[in-house]
Amino acid sequence: MGDLAIISTAKSKDGEQSSIKCPMLNSTNYMVWAIRMRNFLKIHKVWSNVENGTDENDKNDVAIALLFRAIPETLVLQVGELNTAKKVWDAVRARHVGAERVKEARLQTLMAEFDRLKMKDTTKIDDFVGKLSELSSKSSALGEEIEEPKLVKKFLKCLPRKKYIHIVAALEQVLDLKTTSFEDIVGRLKAYEERVQEEDGNQEDQSKLMYSNAEQQSTRDSQDDRGY
């Protein structure tokens, strides 16, 4: 279901039919839903019934009907026997506020972990990006989207400075990091990582060759000194 539910149709002053919509409650949007729903009920002149718990005939029935259309069917079954809009409102709140607080606590823990995350010199870019993506996915599941510019900034900031400072400085000069996608930045850094690994491998091979040649020369010199 979306964030809006069609409640009914009504005639405007010029006689045309118009759809009246209200926010739809889901597992992650209770706080925002409550604010929007409160205003929606005020527009329909029935919020006072919810707030005060009065059961004034038609107004109470209208408030309950609007609430029932703005919550999932499973929740309707749980609160369907309540006879005032206030009782329905309070029951919905009780079922979500606790869950909302738990979600908020988890989100705070997750963002603290995100802030502390650093990339070690020996960590591969793929491994670090996997961790960043995992935290981003968990955050989204809790209702908090980590925007791409923030991911890009975090990624570049966490790279080992000594190893990546030159490529990061170059990217900051040629790219607009506010509009560059996370995947683009990751792709560029992975290509750089591969080149660095190739150069390190070549240098290691050259060092081994030089060491081997030096050993052979030392052996020959030693043999010459002995008169062999």
Structure tokens at 135: 């935290």
pLDDT grade for 223, boundaries at 50, 70 and 90 = low
Q: Domain map of the chain by residue range?
A: 4-100, 121-221
Model confidence pLDDT, tens digit, residues 91-107 = 998 888 877 788 888 89
d(CA 95, CA 98): 7
Answer yes or no: is pLDDT of 184 > 60: yes
Per-residue pLDDT reduced to its tens digit, 150-160 = 999 999 999 99
CB 24 within 8 A of CB 5: yes
DSSP code of residue 46: -
CA 119 to chain centre: 20
pLDDT of residue 102: 82
pLDDT beyond 50 at 1: no
Phi/psi zone of residue 53: left (φ > 0), alpha (ψ -120 to 50 degrees), beta? left
Q: How far apart are CA 89 and CA 86, in angstroms?
A: 5
* Cβ proximity of 54 and 75 under 8 Å: no
- Check whether 7 has a pLDDT greater than 50: no
Tens-place pLDDT, residues 116-132: 999 998 899 999 999 99
What percent of the chain clears pLDDT 90, i.e. is strictly above it? Answer: 43
- The pLDDT tens digits for 185-217 are 999 999 998 888 877 555 444 444 444 555 555
